[in-house]
Amino acid sequence: MQKTPTILIVENNCNQRTLYAEELADEGYYVVCASQGCEALDIVECQHPDAVVLDINMPDMDGLEVLS
C-alpha cells in the first residue's frame, strides 16, 4: 500500500493557510499546517513531511531562518 504524501503548509495568514490546505487536500494530499516558524520546525522533526509550502514573510521567524 502506498503512503499518501504529506505536505506541511507554513503560513501566518489564516485565510491563505486554509485555502492552501483545502486545495491540497482536495488533490489527495495529507496536509499539516503551522502558523509560525518554530511550530513548523517541531512538525518537521516529528512528522517528516514529504514537502513544505513555506511563507517567507512571517513575524516570529522568517522562512529563510526556518530553511536554515
The model's pLDDT over 24-58, given as tens digits with 9 standing for 90+, comes to 999 999 999 999 999 999 999 999 999 999 999 99
**How many Cβ atoms sit within 10 Å of the Cβ of residue 54?**
18
pLDDT class of 59 with cuts at 50, 70, 90: confident
Phi, psi of 21, deg, nearest 5: -65, -45
**Sign of the CA dihedral 11, 13, 14, 18?**
negative
What average pLDDT does the segment 8-30 reach?
A: 97
The model carries a pTM of 0.92
At 48, list the grid cell: 517528516
